[in-house]
Amino acid sequence: MIKIFKTFGGYKEIAKSEKGCWVNVIQPNANEIQRLSNEFKLPQDIINDILDADERPRVEFDDTWSLVIMRIPVANENNGVPFQTIPLGVFISDDFTLTLCLRDNEVLPMEEHSPFRGQYHQITDNINFILRLFLRSGNIYLKYLKQVNQQTAAIEQDLEKSIKNRELNKLLKMEKCLVYFITSIKANEIVLARLRNSKKVTSEINEDLLEDALIENKQALEMAQIYSDIQSGMMDAFASVISNNLNVVMKQLTLISIILMIPTLIASVFGMNVPNSMENASWAMPAIILSSLLLSILGVLLFRKKQWF
């Protein structure tokens, strides 16, 4: 889907592109990709790079255009991982600014005409527009991290009641989600640092906006690392619990086998086809059963005294 706006932030949608416009492209089909290449003169390799889900954040400068690729968080329901990150590309030329993403997202939601309508001033500079995208991305990271923490707490409660592979797999997918976040946020910080220090950025950068974007990304990175450390410790703790429970079960089964071995041994001895001076006694069977029970009870009491049971 392609939408063209007269200014940054989507204050007014227009039918055709004009100088200084903003073009927002989300999940383009084959015809729209061809239009990007023909009408907007977007290089095919740049389109392929931005639409690659594994593309790394970076900054490129050319004589007539500039490219900034960042990674933004999106909700995911396909493989059980609640959130993942995808690239968002910002292509800047003298005539227009184009944002391209392979999926709908909360940073630049297609259904909202003006994601920055709450700002007091219109955005007139493409670099500051990119900084606002980084700032908005950091806010979305923080929002999703809180949801990850809530889901992790719910999984932890389930694990305390019943340790099953299903809950452990959910916890592992949460850890995978945090790894995506940490890697992407670190890469975004490198891009922000390059924008600040690049000599090819001719427009004046809003230092307050840049500082806010850096703070949001740093806070998101610290939260993701804290949650990741907590989950790693939690996984180790539950692994130790599972191993300890297995040892307890094996010990109990071993003790039960020993207790059952006592009457089995007695029955085997008196069941041999040899004279034992009790084959004609009427009290032999009750005596053997009683002695087996007494020895078994004695064994149980001995194990309980040693706190093995």
Measure the CA–CA gap between 278 and 223, rounded to whole angstroms: 79
Measure the CA–CA gap between 179 and 224, rounded to whole angstroms: 8
pLDDT tens string for the chain (309 positions)? 888 777 776 667 677 777 877 788 888 888 888 888 877 778 888 888 888 888 888 888 877 778 888 888 888 877 678 888 888 888 888 788 888 888 888 887 766 555 555 554 556 677 788 888 888 888 888 999 888 888 888 877 776 666 666 777 777 888 888 888 888 888 888 888 887 777 666 566 777 878 888 888 888 888 888 888 888 887 777 777 777 777 888 888 888 888 888 888 887 777 777 777 777 777 777 888 888 888 888 888 887 787 776
In this structure, the answer to whether residues 186 and 70 fall within a common structural domain is: yes
Last residue of a domain, one of 213, 243, 273: 243
In this structure, the answer to whether residues 301 and 275 fall within a common structural domain is: yes
In this structure, the answer to whether residues 263 and 177 fall within a common structural domain is: no
How large is the angle between the packed helices 207-270 and 165-197, nearest 10 degrees? 160
Say what the alpha-carbon torsion angle 28, 31, 37, 43 is, to the nearest 10 degrees. Answer: 50
In this structure, the answer to whether residues 282 and 173 fall within a common structural domain is: no
Say how many domains are in the chain: 2
In this structure, the answer to whether residues 228 and 255 fall within a common structural domain is: no
In this structure, the answer to whether residues 223 and 156 fall within a common structural domain is: yes
Last residue of a domain, one of 203, 223, 243: 243
* Sequence-ordered strand ranges (E) for the chain: 2-5, 13-14, 21-26, 58-61, 65-75, 83-93, 96-101
Q: Are 13 and 117 in contact (CB under 8 A)?
A: no
Q: Find the domain containing 262 and state its range.
A: 247-305
Measure the CA–CA gap between 278 and 201, rounded to whole angstroms: 106
CATH number at residue 38: 3.30.460.20
Burial (CB count <10 Å: 0-12, 13-18, 19+), residue 273: exposed
In this structure, the answer to whether residues 207 and 275 fall within a common structural domain is: no
For residue 211, what is the DSSP state? H
In this structure, the answer to whether residues 23 and 171 fall within a common structural domain is: yes
In this structure, the answer to whether residues 265 and 238 fall within a common structural domain is: no
- Residue 71: how many other CB atoms lie within 10 Å: 26
In this structure, the answer to whether residues 139 and 270 fall within a common structural domain is: no
Percent helix / strand / coil, the chain, rounded to 5: 55, 15, 30
In this structure, the answer to whether residues 172 and 238 fall within a common structural domain is: yes
Last residue of a domain, one of 204, 228, 243: 243
In this structure, the answer to whether residues 185 and 43 fall within a common structural domain is: yes
